[in-house]
Amino acid sequence: MSDLLARHRAVMPNWLALNYNDPIEIVSGKGNRVTDANGKSYLDFFAGILTNMIGYDVPEVREAVERQLATGVVHTSTVYLLRGQIELAEKIARLSGIPNAKVFFTNSGTEANETALLLATYARKSDQVLAMRQSYHGRSFGAISVTSNRSWKNNSLSPLNVHFLHGTDRHLAQFRGLSDADYIKACVDDLRHVLATSVSNDVAALIAEPIQGVGGFTMAPDGLFAAYKEVLDEQGILFISDEVQTGWGRTGSSFWGIGNHGVTPDMMTFAKGLGNGFAVGGVVARGDLMDAPHAVGLSTFGGNPIAMAAANATLDYVLDHDLQANAARTGEIIMSGLKAAAERLTVVKEVRGKGLMFAVELESPEQAGRFMELTKQAGLLAGKGGLYGTAIRMAPPLTLTVDEATEGLGIIVTALETIDAEAKDR
């Protein structure tokens, strides 16, 4: 493995992050577990950054892809009719709740957010965009400009004129201790102030993650985006919900993350889990917004036949097996267990999340790193993030069983107990 790591470092960029002091190579997977090159098995609580949404080696997905491969047609591009693309778009449009919805497919969440921003700025004839503090929307030029996390921003140059809002920063002194209702009121007051002082007319859109992924699964209190949208609607400002990590029932309480706020956005972006590992992303938007651009457009690889076969099979599996309900059920086991443990562990500053999207905030980045190593040793894969690098974020496949949820919870709590004991010994 040291030879492979050396080869990686020789030809891959230094900023390409690897988990663990001794990074692992995953060589096989089955169900909700993976195996590394040394034969060690892990219960996967990070799912390839929320992408292997229904686990590994799923027959329904594998067979759908094999059937498409057997036709000999791996690629045609969007200049031809694509049956699988049309079928998937029909499903997503119906599930979105957006009136007269249309869908455009891309290869990733970054591309999807770029497309949504293009549609919004075109419709409103404005480069002004609102976004949330601590947000992450992708690694491209435009997506970085609406990202509000210094660790993920390479420069201040931007094709957009962006203003960042409060809503996920209750740790700040001016918000600490406020009730949900008072915090929402303070955030709405700030939005109105931004619109009165920092922008000119015709702001294009607000883009927001219902639960911030890279931000460490920080989230606005339910109802904030409904309150924001009342203000946005007064000026015709569009609302884009970035569902790249929160879609497809992961939160348990709603099929789309934004549903927890009782809001139907003008557009939603999606990616990651829909293809269960195959590259697919996209935008679902009001038809008038999607149809508006005057220039010809296409996506060479977006919505290709292989990705569509995988995505159709994955979405059907999610719906047929009611995995949203499973996310609520197994997520509650883990969340309730973590909250109970947090009451006696001083190193745990916060437990947060919804469904199978949960995080533990620790005191320091060093403790987060220690957690990663301890859970790796114990056979569980997790992720980390947060504005200050102190959050452990976990999002197992939606197919997680009750037994696996209990097993994973035990590993997590044991690691936290070890870190807590180490902190007290210092």
Residues contacting residue 252 through CB under 8 Å, at least 6 positions apart: 324, 325, 327, 328, 329, 331, 332, 354, 355, 356
* Mean pLDDT confidence for 288-294: 97
Do residues 208 and 167 make contact, with C-beta atoms less than 8 angstroms apart?
yes
C-alpha 216/C-alpha 349 separation (Å) is 13
End-to-end CA distance of the chain: 34
Supply 377's token pair: 């040793």
* Mean pLDDT confidence for 20-27: 96
What is the biggest distance separating any 2 CA atoms in the chain, rounded to whole angstroms?
A: 66
Q: With 90 as the cut, is the pLDDT of residue 363 above it?
A: yes
Q: With 70 as the cut, is the pLDDT of residue 343 above it?
A: yes
Residue with tokens 């660790």: 151
The strand pairing partners of 286, in sequence order, are: 101
Q: Identify the DSSP state of 231.
A: H
Q: With 80 as the cut, is the pLDDT of residue 267 above it?
A: yes
% of the chain residues with pLDDT over 70: 100
C-alpha 124/C-alpha 315 separation (Å) is 33
CATH fit for domain 63-320, picks 3.40.640.10, 2.130.10.10, 3.40.50.920, 3.40.140.10: 3.40.640.10
Do residues 360 and 416 make contact, with C-beta atoms less than 8 angstroms apart?
yes
pLDDT, position 157:
85
C-alpha 311/C-alpha 307 separation (Å) is 6
C-alpha 86/C-alpha 290 separation (Å) is 15
196 to 193, 233, 235, 245, 410: CA distances (angstroms): 5, 15, 12, 32, 51
pLDDT, position 325:
98
C-alpha 237/C-alpha 304 separation (Å) is 33
Categorize the per-residue pLDDT at 1 as very low, low, confident or very high, splitting at 50, 70 and 90: low
What would the pLDDT profile of 178-227 be if each residue is shown by its tens digit?
A: 999 999 999 999 999 999 999 998 999 999 999 999 999 999 999 999 99
* Mean pLDDT confidence for 265-278: 98
What would the pLDDT profile of 100-153 be if each residue is shown by its tens digit?
A: 999 999 999 999 999 999 999 999 999 999 999 999 999 999 999 999 999 998
Domain boundaries, the chain: 2-58+325-425, 63-320
pLDDT, position 364:
97
Q: Identify the DSSP state of 56.
A: B
Vertex 189 angle, CA 135 and 244, to 5°: 25
Supply 355's token pair: 């469904």
CATH of domain 2-58+325-425: 3.90.1150.10
Q: With 90 as the cut, is the pLDDT of residue 321 above it?
A: yes
Mean of all residue pLDDT scores within the chain: 97
* Mean pLDDT confidence for 75-103: 97
What would the pLDDT profile of 407-417 be if each residue is shown by its tens digit?
A: 999 999 999 99
The residue type of 322 is: D
* Mean pLDDT confidence for 46-60: 97
